Structure 1
Amino acid sequence: MIEIDGSVGEGGGQILRTSLALSMCTGQPFALTKIRAGRAKPGLMRQHLACVNAAADVCGAQVQGAELNSQSLIFTPGSVRAGDYVFNVGTAGSCTLVLQTVWPALMLADAPSHLKLGGGTHNPMAPPFHFLERAYAPLLAKLGAKADLALRRLGFYPAGGGEIDATIWPAGDSLQPFDLNDRGAKVESYAECFAPALPRSVARRELEQLGTGLGWSDAQLREAACRQNEGPGNALLATLVYDHVSEVFTAFGEKGVSAEQVAREVVREVRAYQVCHAALGPHLADQWALPLALGLWCRGGVASYTCTELTPHATTNFEVIERFLPVRFSSAAARGCITVAAKASDPPTGQFL
């Protein structure tokens, strides 16, 4: 039984999700205490409970403490089962986080899995659907784990109601870790504004401000098509496509925040990425660690990537991964970027449990 203190590092929900994902992949049970102790409302909120229940469903786990506001959890996994699954958060809580929780285990299953997920698709503090589709999923495909994602309906806080379909294909023994130390040549960059049920002027102002701030042409600024019944919400996205990687930067509109403020936040993040030559931005640097570590567990060896920043969220994630896998992370800063190296410390197992 692996014992994990949920108050360490950044003390958030990623400790829970990484533990669930790797427990399913390795067959190792864990006990987690002080869940989300670093948050204003500690314990399992509805979206975290949805992750626990989804993980338990996928692997037939025995679970103690799976209830709202619980600050401790014991998770004993069974065998991962490919299949057709429906997971609904039931609120505007992020269904993309539920998807990321079960994705690693299902990509190691022996058959394809088809998922229907409901909840928030574009939430602050969670990867938006388009980040998963354009930035995260292509890297997993290069690793050898293909997935197809489709956005059926946008879901914003507080209404929720978003819908995502996902097909996760089995990777088998094809996982091949690789170095990702440069972006490659620039292919394209563009911005989109999703603003269902809001005046069109909101989208125009955000895009105009972003275009001015980044020097982008009108052809790079797009008002995304939305259905009015998707409820009110606002997300401004900037997508940067390179030969080796794509990055997606997002800011969300909210009451009392002007369209210009939303745009300036995206401009700030894009500029911070552009001034550095590293391959990955701060969020992708965090989320790429787990699938890369799984590949190294299977194949052995060392793989590296460069990033613009290592957040406390990322370093905490490294620590949790190291509790489950014989993989160790190290980092070094040079020439304005950070190089992360992941090394399998034991001979590869050649198979997943």
Structure 2
Amino acid sequence: FFFAFLFVFPADVKRAHLLGCLLHRAMEKPVITVDGDAGGGQILRNGFSLAALAQQPIKVVNIRGARTPPGLRPQHLEGITMVNRLCGGRLVGAEQGSCEVAMWPQGFTSGDFKVDTGTAGSCTLLAQIALPCLLFTSGSTFSGRGGTDVNWSPPIDEMRLCLMPLLQRFGVQAELTCVKRGFFPRGGGEIKLTVAEGHCGRPLRPISMTDPGTLSRVYGQAFAAGANEAQQLDHMIEEARRVLRGRLAPEIPIDIEKVLETPDTASGTGTAITLVAATDTGCLFGATQFKDPKQRLSSADCGAKAAETLLKEVGGGACVDQFVQDQLLIFMALADGTSEVRVGDLTDHTKLAIQTAESLLPCKFTLKPEGATTVISCEGVGLTAPGCFSEEAKTRTLAPPPAVATTSQDDSHLDNGGAPHDPPNAGGKGKGRGKGGGKGKGKG
């Protein structure tokens, strides 16, 4: 089959490239060791996803070493096990509480991959680890069960309305849907990620987002699940509109959809509002605020807080909000050519994502400060299949793995199901998702 496929391949260049890729993947590579205490869950998500795509053996040691208890938690374990299934790899040390885990990736396989956290642990974080790998199959789906709208993790609506449209710029053809919402402490939510067409044989396109442009539209969605929540939605939406209208030009449309969930579409009780701002150059900014009883915020306060957060993001001169910036970096690293994106303050997640990518892929990031913003440039690897880089990328060397940081954003506290409290052993103050799931100042 291999030789038949090789000789019917249409172009000599492509045939040589395919053969080179197969030989490259067959070569034994040394294991790259990463200190897992440098970034907790983010190291595991980005590290294993990129290692699978690079066909690079990886070992993560000292996993959550400074935390009590240390080691892998259920959500981390589900994520790396899924990646290992997807890349047909060999996994050692993958058990709850393990402080060291290693993976030797092999050939990718297509299929329907299902993960259940068993708690209210974030299934949107699991989608983050799945999507880059699914793109290089011949068409696969991911189904994740757990929390869709929980603290300290990307809300499903913000991923649908903000992140996924931005990824279309890379040529990503994928659909993310919320089958059922899930909240703390019950969980029970479900999301589905479908990749209709893979990117094997054709790399992702580079992007250029350096001109923030002019605000052209604000839209979003406010939902309520639970009998006592529905009556609060109108106050939330009205206050968000009032704050936005007081600061925006009258001709800018504001469209906020009201959604009343049912027991068939939501498990448990929860209320939130997600707002997205779009500019005439295609930039998108998102802001979400959950209604958390422990914060004692009224529904109107939640609407106002989401609007204020959105306005701050739009007015900062960047092209994406601070919570999306690190999520774009993997795709910039995989793309063929140089990508550029203008961001505001560099988050700890962004810095760690750059270090992780450069230690596992022969990509090259450059940071160029310009006033209150920074332009992140990346020379991507032009991935056409797992382990297959462009000729230019093959000439680059890998950077050292990330070292332990004194402060970093981490989501290890999500392992208890996304409980609304500060993370244990929190470091210094930094920009993070504030209590109640809203975006704002939180402990890093």
TM-score above 0.5: yes
Name the structure 1 match of 2:372: 336
Contact 1:121 1:128 in 2 (8 A): yes
Superposed displacement of residue 48, structure 1: 1.3
Match runs of 1:232-311 below 5 Å: 232-243=269-280, 244-257=282-295, 258-259=297-298, 260-295=300-335, 299=336, 301-311=337-347
Q: Deviations over 1:16-61 (max 9, x none)?
A: 1001111110111111112234666543222111101211221122
Task: Give the greater-gyration-radius structure (CA).
Answer: 2
Q: Given the superposition, is the C-alpha separation of residues 222 and 139 from structure 1 closer, same or farther in structure 2, using an over 3 Å criterion?
A: closer
Query: What is the rounded CA distance, in whole Å, between the counterparts of 1:245 and 1:41 in structure 2?
Result: 41
Contact 1:293 1:342 in 2 (8 A): yes
Q: Deviations over 1:109-129 (max 9, x none)?
A: 2x1102222111112222222
Match runs of 1:1-353 below 5 Å: 1-8=31-38, 11-37=39-65, 42-109=70-137, 111-168=138-195, 169-172=197-200, 173-197=202-226, 198-215=228-245, 220-228=255-263, 230=266, 231-243=268-280, 244-257=282-295, 258-259=297-298, 260-295=300-335, 299=336, 301-344=337-380, 351-353=385-387
Residue identity in the other structure for 1:352 = P
- Per the alignment, in what secondary structure is the counterpart of residue 14 of structure 1? helix
Superposed displacement of residue 153, structure 1: 0.8
Contact 1:33 1:72 in 2 (8 A): yes
Superposed displacement of residue 219, structure 1: 6.1
Query: What is the rounded CA distance, in whole Å, between the counterparts of 1:289 and 1:202 in structure 2?
Result: 37
Query: What is the rounded CA distance, in whole Å, between the counterparts of 1:38 and 1:185 in structure 2?
Result: 45
Stretch moving more, 184-193 or 63-72: 184-193
Residue identity in the other structure for 1:208 = E
- Per the alignment, in what secondary structure is the counterpart of residue 154 of structure 1? strand
Query: What is the rounded CA distance, in whole Å, between the counterparts of 1:221 and 1:166 in structure 2?
Result: 24
Residue identity in the other structure for 2:328 = W
Superposed displacement of residue 222, structure 1: 3.4
Superposed displacement of residue 200, structure 1: 2.5
Residue identity in the other structure for 2:244 = L
Q: Given the superposition, is the C-alpha separation of residues 263 and 4 from structure 1 closer, same or farther in structure 2, using an over 3 Å criterion?
A: same
Query: What is the rounded CA distance, in whole Å, between the counterparts of 1:144 and 1:322 in structure 2?
Result: 22
Stretch moving more, 135-144 or 155-164: 135-144
Contact 1:191 1:207 in 2 (8 A): no
Superposed displacement of residue 224, structure 1: 1.6
Stretch moving more, 245-254 or 305-314: 245-254
Contact 1:146 1:171 in 2 (8 A): no
Contact 1:12 1:38 in 2 (8 A): no
Residue identity in the other structure for 1:140 = L
Superposed displacement of residue 351, structure 1: 4.6
Q: Deviations over 1:91-150 (max 9, x none)?
A: 1111111111121111012x1102222111112222222222222222322212210122
Query: What is the rounded CA distance, in whole Å, between the counterparts of 1:145 and 1:274 in structure 2?
Result: 25
Residue identity in the other structure for 1:220 = D
Which protein, 1 or 2, shows the higher relative CO under an 8 Å CA cutoff with sep ≥ 6? 2
Query: What is the rounded CA distance, in whole Å, between the counterparts of 1:267 and 1:213 in structure 2?
Result: 6
Contact 1:135 1:247 in 2 (8 A): yes
Superposed displacement of residue 166, structure 1: 1.8
Q: Name structure 2 gaps, 5 residues minimum.
A: 1-30, 388-444
Q: Given the superposition, is the C-alpha separation of residues 211 and 42 from structure 1 closer, same or farther in structure 2, using an over 3 Å criterion?
A: farther
TM-score normalized by structure 2? 0.72
TM-score normalized by structure 1? 0.89
